[in-house]
Structure 1
Amino acid sequence: MNQKRNSLYIFSLTLVAAIGGLLFGYDTAVISGAEKSVQAYLITSLDLGTLAHGATISSALIGCIIGGLISGYFASAFGRKKSLIIAAVLFFISALGSGYPEFLFFQQGEPSIALLFVFNLYRIIGGVGVGLASAITPMYIGEIAPADIRGKMVSFNQFMIIFGMLVVYFVNWGIANGQTVEWINDIGWRYMFASEAIPALMFAILLFFVPETPRYLVLKREDSKAIQVLAKINGSEEAKIILRDIKNTYSLTKERADSVKLFSYGKLVIIIGIMLSVFQQFVGINVALYYAPRIFESMGAAKDASMIQTIVMGLINVVFTVVAILTVDKWGRKPLLITGSIGMAIGMFGVASLAFADIIGISTLIFIIIYTASFMMSWGPICWVLIAEIFPNKIRGQAVAVAVAAQWAANYFISSTYPMMMEFSGGLTYGFYGVMSILSAVFVWIWVPETKGKTLEYMDSFWIKKAGDKRNVS
């Protein structure tokens, strides 16, 4: 008897995996509330300068790049599920270690260079967890979800990233609300970091109750386990068809499959994956996210007003990510990306024009909202969707690792150059992001394939044909 698709089961697996996205957002944003306290405790008290402060605040990004680079090895060697468990453990260690770096070796209240090093080490460990989760969470969801709803399911991961950022803003506010600056600088910042241990522990526990992806199980020649997972997701008859298609893409012997090179399907697919990641960062979104309060303050808003506007931006992020979730499998990936690029260009060119005219006001906020909303309904979630689905099965682990590492490197470059660019010219800075938005639309229009409704196995044959390989893949 053929079972029907189990939508509740699919969403349950997606929800558990997407907690990795929530922790991604939580870990990258938690520093926003603790930054000044960390500066007071570990930088100012040691009479260190802005270079040490900047390196400390951005230290997690180093771990993100490392995590992205090693994600391919982990995904292939340990599987998608175990790699996510490792990421959860790293999040947990980082949360407690960052909150109490004095554990075992140092005396609380006595900062030192060695303690600063240990704190940065814990933040880097958390960054490795972010790098792993950012690559493997969409990979896991993409390999679990049926083709016709895969875009929606992978986009949900972006929702959880934004939701994680929004949650930690409120957690930080709740910890600091009504407390003295002295208490926050002594104790409060520790609670902010340690609070991440709760979702990290929940993530680790829940992962033990989800299966490995059927694509990885087939790669490891565990067909009986793969068919069980596929049947529970798609129904027994459809599972047989999908298993056959997956096995066709893994038709090489185990020894040859394990030695498949990154460029086995040509260089184009790898270049497209890298450029998707680079454009997602070069349009300037993390400048808007990381420096939002400072941008609003520079527009003339008081500090409290700038924080409120930042929360408003967070809510806009959530709403327009939902728009992407609801439309990605109906409209397709390319139309959403191109539409979003045009909207981002309008927003950034608007901000740039106002900056050149030295006009600051509500009009600037409106253009920033247009820009952010356009990103969140397009490049925010859809880039992750494409990274999860454009690569052939045999090279997906290592290809995703390269793309994600490129994304974190681009993130670091754009975020670190923003203050310097703003000192030179605010108008030219925002104009640059506008130009990148236009180029991203052209790139998608010419080079990026539409993957709406396509199976992951279809992409193998697609790239083989693109590379001019005439091998039989059916």
Structure 2
Amino acid sequence: MAERRFSDDSGFENAENQLNSKSVSCYNSFDNESIDLPDVNTKSLSPIQTTMAPAGNRLKLLVLCAVLSAATNFPEGYCNSYPNTSYKSFQHMINGSYVARGIEDGLSDEAYTWYWSFVLNIWFVGDLLGTFVTPYFTDNLGRKKSLLIANFCALFGAVLSLSSVLFSIPELFIISRFTTSISSGMSFGGLILFLQEATPTAERGITSFICESTFIMTTALGIGAGMDYIFGQNLPVLTGVAIIPAVIAIVTTLPLCDTPKFLLISRNDRAAALQSLEFYRGVSIENETTLDDMLIEKEMGGAEQKVALISGIIEVFTTRHLRMAFILGAAALQITVGIWPIVYLSTDFLAANFPAELAQMASFGFILADFIASLLGILLVERYNRRSLLIGFGAANTFSLCLYIIADLLIPVWEPIRWGQIVALVLFGVTYGFAVGPIAFFITSELVPQRNRSIVQSLVFCFSTVMSFIISFVTLPCYTAFGVLSFLPLLVIPAILCEILLFFYLPETRAREIHDVVAELIERHRKPSRGSES
């Protein structure tokens, strides 16, 4: 399929011919049995690396990806969710701090609403900054070093957070969230790239799905830990827990090899790429062929191995298939924006119609259902089309928001229907975890060649972060002023428009090499004229 599409463009045809000539020499050496494959277990790796290396063991690879994902995603999931159920303790800490400084009675209710909204949503400012600088680090230092830098930053943020509650300094808590969010912006983009490039095509969807599942798991841990009868009334323990996974993430990342694609395409180091391939997939006579297949992405992305950030951004928005990849990725993530105000504020929303303790339990039930659904989704992501899962469950996810709105509006008419809000919340979690959240976060990387992947993915994450910040920041004030109807313009209508866009333009990516998906996008969005692509 890719060969047929390349023939429509002389540039791609030349690239393919060059690649075929390289592949022939590789195959000839296989025929002549002249390749001496290195012993990865004894010659190439340290003892620690040998112990950790999956080396083709599927279970070991999945466990490694799960541990790395859970530890790396912990700051974003846990630190963003424990304020949901522990907000009363933080309110006491914040007001107590200002009372001690001479402000009688602390902040007013209205002032605290905006203050708390700022505390929560400062996260998106740091996340945006971290996401924006991700391409520089991932493309120049590599995926592994980028993860290390991000995890050290997360460790520093966790220490600041613990210090802020120990000494009752709310401003330091804001700084800690800003610092940790920078690390999350860097780590999440780098982690997706790492998982997509280190694993075989057959496991790409599963490992990327695991990444989002671990994020949901850490979110559930945060909401659960923030309950009053766990750590909700013990803020030093609640915040200090984040130090442990930050250390685990650093220790896990240190012995890893960088990804084969980065080493081959960006560093042009075939020997290191082969060693990395053996580290993750084991020694095989097919490894040389796999490396040759990876080079197709380099040829499709252009002759240059690296692209500067600004020129890369310009290239994305002036190249038709890259621009469409950005639009599709942004639309997919826009469907997920509703998760943030719900993760932050579901207990607040439910407390309007339920006792505080029941509201906490319902919030935990929502995120637990989300996590369980994500585990089931892992079993299906490589069996069913990504496109069908994303669009179908996206529609169900939007329907759950509509159900929540309807239940809230009908409470004055029939009070028992308030339980429909909890049903809607759980349905939102199930549809998000089963497909919407995990697929939306990695689909962009399956639409773009290696050369542009980091920049396009970061642009998509930047756009999503800005939208998440705007919507999350105004949700609580708008809900206070206008009630549940504010969800329509903020969450429901944008999601519907994005689902329509995805229905018409999103290609299928399951079980396909990325260069084949890119070739389809190029073919679809080629200019009608015979001129060159803009």
**TM-score after normalising by structure 2:** 0.77
Q: 2: distance between equivalents of 1:178 and 1:288? A: 21
Is contact 2:75-2:180 (8 Å) kept? no
Is the aligned partner of 1:368 residue 2:416?
A: no
Instruction: Identify if the C-alpha distance between structure 1 residues 5 and 430 changes in structure 2 by more than 3 Å, giving closer, same or farther.
Output: same
Is contact 1:250-1:257 (8 Å) kept? no
Deviations 1:156-189 (A, max 9, x none): 111101111122334444xx6489x9xx4xxx31
Is contact 2:297-2:515 (8 Å) kept? yes
State the partner residue of 1:258.
307
State the partner residue of 1:216.
262
Is contact 1:33-1:189 (8 Å) kept? no
Ranges in structure 1 where 5+ consecutive residues have no aligned partner: 103-107
C-alpha RMSD of matched pairs (Å) = 2.9
Q: 2: distance between equivalents of 1:236 and 1:94? A: 42
Is contact 1:9-1:233 (8 Å) kept? no
Q: Which amino acid aligns with 1:209?
A: P
Is contact 2:224-2:230 (8 Å) kept? no
State the partner residue of 2:349.
295
Deviations 1:381-438 (A, max 9, x none): 1101202322211011111111111121111112122123324543523444333343
Matched residue count: 452
Q: 1: distance between equivalents of 2:339 and 2:126? A: 20
Q: 1: distance between equivalents of 2:482 and 2:285? A: 61
Instruction: Identify if the C-alpha distance between structure 1 residues 287 and 56 changes in structure 2 by more than 3 Å, giving closer, same or farther.
Output: closer
SS in 2 for 1:451: coil
**TM-score after normalising by structure 1:** 0.87
SS in 2 for 1:291: helix
Q: Which amino acid aligns with 1:395?
A: N
Is the aligned partner of 1:400 residue 2:457?
A: yes
Is the aligned partner of 1:314 residue 2:367?
A: yes
Instruction: Identify if the C-alpha distance between structure 1 residues 38 and 346 changes in structure 2 by more than 3 Å, giving closer, same or farther.
Output: closer
Identity rate of aligned residues, in percent? 17
Instruction: Identify if the C-alpha distance between structure 1 residues 229 and 380 changes in structure 2 by more than 3 Å, giving closer, same or farther.
Output: same
Instruction: Identify if the C-alpha distance between structure 1 residues 458 and 227 changes in structure 2 by more than 3 Å, giving closer, same or farther.
Output: farther
Q: Which amino acid aligns with 1:304?
A: E
Is the aligned partner of 1:10 residue 2:64?
A: no
State the partner residue of 2:47.
none
Is contact 2:123-2:178 (8 Å) kept? yes
Structure 1 position 116, deviation (Å) = 4.4
SS in 1 for 2:255: coil
Which is worse superposed, 248-257 or 212-221? 248-257
Ranges in structure 2 where 5+ consecutive residues have no aligned partner: 1-35, 40-54
Is the aligned partner of 1:379 residue 2:436?
A: yes
Q: 1: distance between equivalents of 2:305 and 2:371? A: 44
Q: 2: distance between equivalents of 1:324 and 1:148? A: 16
Is the aligned partner of 1:193 residue 2:246?
A: no
Q: 2: distance between equivalents of 1:434 and 1:278? A: 10
Question: Any residues of structure 2 matched to 1:128-207 within 5 Å, and which?
Answer: 128-173=182-227, 177=229, 184=233, 188-207=234-253
Q: 2: distance between equivalents of 1:302 and 1:213? A: 50
Q: Which amino acid aligns with 1:223?
A: R
SS in 2 for 1:391: coil
Is contact 1:70-1:132 (8 Å) kept? yes
Is contact 2:130-2:183 (8 Å) kept? yes
SS in 2 for 1:190: helix
State the partner residue of 1:227.
274
Which is worse superposed, 345-354 or 39-48? 39-48
Is the aligned partner of 1:96 residue 2:96?
A: no
Of 77, 88, 91, which residue of structure 1 is paired with 2:140? 77
Q: 1: distance between equivalents of 2:87 and 2:409? A: 31
Q: Which amino acid aligns with 2:510?
A: K
Q: 1: distance between equivalents of 2:526 and 2:191? A: 32
Is the aligned partner of 1:39 residue 2:91?
A: yes
Q: 2: distance between equivalents of 1:214 and 1:389? A: 16
